Chain A
Amino acid sequence: MTPFDFPPQYEPFTKVRIGSNILENVKALVAVGDNIPLLIGNGTTPRVWLSIPADKTGSRWHPLVKDNFSSHPDIKVEVRSKTIVVRALHGIVLSAIRGVESSLVVQRLDLRPFGLNIYSDENALHVMGNTLTKNEFRNMSVVVAVGTDA
């Protein structure tokens, strides 16, 4: 697996809970090919980077949110000291709340409007049709690596 380029300002949370799964010392949730669509970093507030594919082949990706700054008028990033919500016209893209000691709980995630079949609810994380529930992932760069051309 190729090393990924993370933004220099990005500091991952030590512990993340998403869809009943526990992530510890994990840098990113999903990689699609060589691209990482979503990063949720720690800071004075939670910090989000979101990139989406520009075409169906996935050869070109463009940033949509850069360190909580939305580069699209229909995407709104609402940041408070402990919570972050990314909204689009279709609804919530990401909702997360920061816990104690560099931990984060992802309450909701939905990247399907961007062509990525990745979403979560309280019980499970769904990636490309697969359901992940009650798993523990430790000490890795990404939890799920999606190969698009295998």
Chain B
Amino acid sequence: MAEQTRVIEGGRFDSPLVLRGEIDAEPERYIAEKPYELTKFEFTVLRRSTAFAFWFTLAAGATAGVVISIAGKALSALLDKKTPTVESWELWAIGAGVIASLLFKLVRSDDDRSRAELEVVIDGHFTTNRPRRVHLTPNSDPK
């Protein structure tokens, strides 16, 4: 807290006022974390969309589409009081879709590996730079 306080009223200034003061207290709740200094290359790695992710989404979506169409067909048959049937090609399509989705999900490209490594680095930064909660002093100028 400044040793001398004053009221400055009605003045006109064209240079900064220089005042003495100090930080009253460490922020008690809003302790900002030490930011991770992300380079442009790291940013590129993080936002890179991999081909495997695209094909996984495509295979999983197509498989889900087949399942939904079968469910719709079965519901329609039940409403017509008929026995729902499943074509063999539909089962093959679902099986192939599941296998393809798993493959695309489990196989990792170089981009995937780079991103995972970078995530470990960033996680390590925030683990070793945890916000401190020390030297808490109440604000002496409550409003």
Contact = CB atoms under 8 A, between A and B. Distances in A.
B2 A113 contact: no
Interface residues of A, number: 53
Contact of A88 (B5, B26, B30): B30
Nearest to A121: B143
B24 interface: yes
A143 B16 contact: yes
A30 to B, nearest CB: 9
A119 B21 CA distance: 14
A130 B7 contact: yes
Nearest to A146: B21
Interface in A126-150: 127-148, 150
Interface of B: 1-2, 5-35, 132, 135, 137, 139, 141, 143
14 contacts: A32-B21, A62-B34, A64-B32, A72-B32, A115-B24, A116-B23, A117-B1, A128-B21, A129-B2, A133-B10, A142-B16, A144-B19, A145-B19, A146-B19
Given A74-B30, A134-B10, 19 more contacts: A31-B16, A52-B30, A53-B27, A56-B25, A58-B22, A63-B32, A74-B29, A88-B30, A113-B27, A115-B23, A115-B27, A117-B139, A117-B141, A132-B9, A135-B8, A138-B14, A140-B15, A141-B16, A146-B21
